[in-house]
């Protein structure tokens, strides 16, 4: 379990995080987190910011604390009588104030309960920390006592019918055996997770357990099953790498890499020589696991690889469209590749293509040949081509390599537009200053990750993560590509200041 430092209050800091709370009323409530907030039981005296109805919750039970430097939320249990469990582990007392601060990631499950979690207290409270569930999310409730089997999926014959296209037609089933419930994965494409871990075939489900099917969250609460039906969700990515080693642990390539990326971000990955850019990309893809967690929308890639492998992927260097094909046929071809026949009917594929063409504004061009399109229209077709699948994170390893300046700019404009469709795009590039908006001259990137190889341990560390202008200020440069001169060793034409900038970044409390 990840424990972190004690964090001080920074009041009134806004952040796009919410808590899904279910108390004894079994009524889901979504509470937006606004800066640091206290949590406790509703009573007649001084009240906390976040209130629940439960006799086992203390009057001042815990605190959600926002760290402005790291732009992250932490939770502290205030040495409450019944304590707080996070992802099944109880926070232990650290000092007279409370527990150590636990850094929260999307999907973390907090519970106030008795020690037998599989037999919860009647007034147990569950809270799910979210960066992907909206404040106005619609939640439904199904009475489980009416069913012996509760089928879940996109098909019209399911008890719980989902609009989420990442769910299979007959994705899963909850089966009752006497008073016990079990969840079965019906051979779905994207799998089923229980309390944050992918199941293998089936698993027992207990009161207050959390099930994920595609983008849908389902929570068993006594005789009720509480769930949302969000459809296609946005992506929020959390990278938490303690270290990445090779040669049976004898050599460390990456160490202490921590950052969060939000839907809509277009992220540049820069790195000094041997700093681990490609190693980082492979770790995020799940191709060469690191010691740590890669969390997308509350699910850890390493423990839920089946359900997540289609959501994070590489983008080809440059898409060449067939000029004698129509726009629609071009998209049908890629739909046949990305949407398997077993799980998606021809009608569903055509529905998805229409949805994407409308989204990027090319529906009126569907019967045009690619050869008839303008340069701008071709770029939109390239964007639509990538959006047909349900990938949330697009990673590109030097997509501009070997291209002339005009082609590099065009490629980056396509990737930028993909990110603007509620996606995350991460790019390794050696010509980052070519990625600029033609009208404003501003960088197309929204965030910059800088890796630098430390002379102290030979591993790649974070030397910066943040906005483009902040990156230039941090390194004292006017161009992004000049950052490499600051951190590369002298024998490669650099100033050899990698350790200086690593220390400078961490001195900011990142």
**pLDDT for res 4:** 38
Q: What is the DSSP letter of 104?
A: P
In the Cβ-directed half-sphere of 23, how many Cα atoms lie within 13 Å?
15
Binned at pLDDT 50, 70 and 90, residue 1 comes out as very low
Local confidence band at 222 (pLDDT 50, 70, 90 cut-offs): confident
Q: What is the mean pLDDT of residues 74-79?
A: 97
Asked if pLDDT for residue 12 goes beyond 60, the answer is: no
- Neighbouring C-beta atoms of residue 476, cutoff 10 Å: 11
Q: How far apart are CA 309 and CA 390, in angstroms?
A: 11
What is the tens place of the pLDDT at every residue in 336-362? Answer: 988 888 888 899 999 999 999 999 999
Mean pLDDT of 200-224: 91
pLDDT at site 317: 63
Least confident segment among 237-241, 285-289, 304-308: 304-308
- Environment class of residue 308 by beta-carbon count within 10 Å: exposed (0-12), middle (13-18) or buried (19+)? buried
Q: What is the DSSP letter of 100?
A: P
Name, in order, each residue with C-beta under 8 angstroms of 352's C-beta and a sequence gap of 6 or more.
165, 335, 339, 344, 388
| Alpha carbon distance 373, 357 (integer Å) | 15
Which of 104, 431, 393, 437 lies closest to 267, judged by CA? 393
Kindly state the tokens that stand for 332.
């049908």
DSSP H or E segment with residue 418: helix 405-419
Tell me the chain's radius of gyration from C-alpha atoms. 24
Residue 90's beta-bridge partner residues?
Answer: 85
**CB contact at 8 A, 453 and 273:** yes
pLDDT interval class at 316 (50, 70, 90): low
pLDDT of residue 11: 35
144: phi then psi, degrees, rounded to nearest 5: -70, -20
pLDDT above 70: percentage of residues in the chain: 95
Angle at 300 between CA 298 and CA 303, to 5 degrees: 140
Q: In what order do the strands lie in the sheet with 216-221?
A: 139-143, 224-228, 216-221, 210-213, 192-194, 197-198
- pLDDT attached to residue 510: 59
**pLDDT at residue 10 in the model:** 34
Task: State mean pLDDT over 97-124.
Answer: 91
Highest-pLDDT range among 104-118, 246-260, 439-453: 439-453
> In the structure, how many helices (H) and strands (E) does the chain have?
9, 32
The mean per-residue pLDDT over the stretch 104-126 comes to 90
Instruction: Report the distance separating Cα 416 and Cα 436, nearest Å.
Output: 10
User: Parallel, antiparallel, or unpaired: how do β-strands 312-314 and 393-397 relate?
Assistant: parallel
What's the full length of the chain, in residues? 510
| Rounded alpha-carbon distances, angstroms, from residue 285 to 181, 289, 394, 402, 404 | 34, 9, 10, 24, 28
At 110, phi and psi to the nearest 5? -105, 135
Is residue 30 predicted with pLDDT exceeding 50? yes
- Band the pLDDT of 319: cuts 50, 70, 90: low
Mean pLDDT of 118-138: 85
463-486 per-position pLDDT tens digit: 999 999 999 999 999 999 999 999
| pLDDT computed for residue 398 by the predictor | 79
pLDDT at 270: 95
Flag whether pLDDT at 5 surpasses 60.
no
3-state SS, residue 53: coil
pLDDT digits (tens, 9 = 90+) for 163-210: 888 899 999 999 998 889 999 999 998 899 998 889 999 999 998 899
Among 231-245, 322-336, 491-505, the least confident range: 231-245
What's the pLDDT at 318?
Answer: 61
In 3D, which of 244, 257, 216 has the Cα closest to residue 426? 257
Residue-level pLDDT at 66: 93
Q: So what's the pLDDT on residue 304?
A: 85
């Amino acid at each position: 379990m990840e424990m972190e430092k004690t964090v001080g209050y920074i009041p009134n800091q806004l952040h796009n995080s919410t808590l899904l709370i279910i108390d004894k009323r079994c009524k889901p409530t979504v509470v937006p987190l606004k800066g640091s907030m206290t949590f406790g039981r509703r009573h007649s005296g001084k009240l906390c910011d976040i209130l629940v109805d439960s006799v086992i919750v203390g009057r001042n039970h815990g605190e959600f604390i926002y760290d402005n430097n790291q732009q992250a939320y932490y939770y502290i249990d205030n040495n409450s009588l019944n304590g707080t469990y996070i992802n099944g582990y109880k926070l232990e007392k650290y000092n007279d104030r409370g527990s150590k601060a636990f850094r929260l990631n999307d999907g973390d499950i907090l519970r106030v309960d008795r020690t037998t979690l599989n037999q919860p207290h009647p007034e147990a409270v569950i809270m799910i920390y979210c960066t992907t569930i909206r404040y106005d999310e619609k939640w439904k409730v199904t009475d489980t006592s009416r069913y012996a089997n509760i089928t879940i999926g996109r098909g019209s014959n399911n008890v719980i019918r989902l609009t989420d296209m990442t769910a299979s037609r007959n994705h899963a089933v909850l089966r009752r055996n006497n008073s016990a419930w079990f969840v079965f994965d019906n051979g779905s494409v994207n799998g089923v997770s229980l309390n944050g871990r992918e199941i293998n075939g089936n698993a027992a489900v207990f009161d207050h357990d959390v099930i994920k099917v595609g983008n849908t969250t389902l929570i068993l609460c006594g005789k009720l099953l509480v769930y949302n039906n969000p459809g296609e969700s946005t992506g929020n990515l959390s990278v938490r790498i303690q270290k990445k080693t090779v040669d049976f642990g004898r050599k460390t390539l990456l160490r202490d890499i921590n950052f969060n990326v939000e839907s809509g971000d277009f992220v540049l990955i820069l790195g000094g020589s041997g700093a681990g850019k490609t190693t980082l990309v492979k770790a995020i893809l799940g191709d060469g696991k690191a010691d740590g967690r890669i969390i997308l929308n509350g699910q850890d890639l390493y423990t839920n690889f089946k359900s997540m492998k289609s959501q994070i992927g590489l983008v080809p260097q440059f898409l060449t469209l067939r000029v004698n094909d129509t726009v629609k046929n071009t998209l049908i071809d890629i739909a046949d590749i990305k949407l398997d026949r077993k799980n998606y009917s021809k009608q569903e594929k055509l529905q998805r293509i229409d949805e994407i063409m409308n989204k990027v504004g090319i529906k009126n061009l569907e019967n045009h040949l690619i050869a008839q399109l303008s340069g701008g229209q071709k770029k939109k077709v390239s964007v639509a081509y990538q959006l047909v699948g349900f990938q949330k994170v697009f990673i590109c390893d030097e997509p501009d390599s070997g291209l002339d300046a005009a082609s590099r700019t065009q490629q980056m404009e396509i990737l930028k537009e993909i990110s603007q469709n509620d996606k995350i795009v991460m790019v390794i590039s050696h010509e980052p200053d070519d990625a600029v908006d033609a009208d404003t001259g501003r960088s197309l990137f929204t965030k910059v990750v800088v890796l630098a190889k430390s002379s102290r341990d030979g591993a790649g560390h974070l030397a910066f993560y943040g906005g483009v202008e902040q990156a230039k200020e941090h390194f004292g440069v006017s161009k992004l590509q000049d950052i490499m001169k600051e951190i590369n060793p002298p024998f490669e034409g650099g100033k050899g200041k990698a350790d200086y900038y690593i220390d400078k970044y961490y001195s900011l409390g990142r």
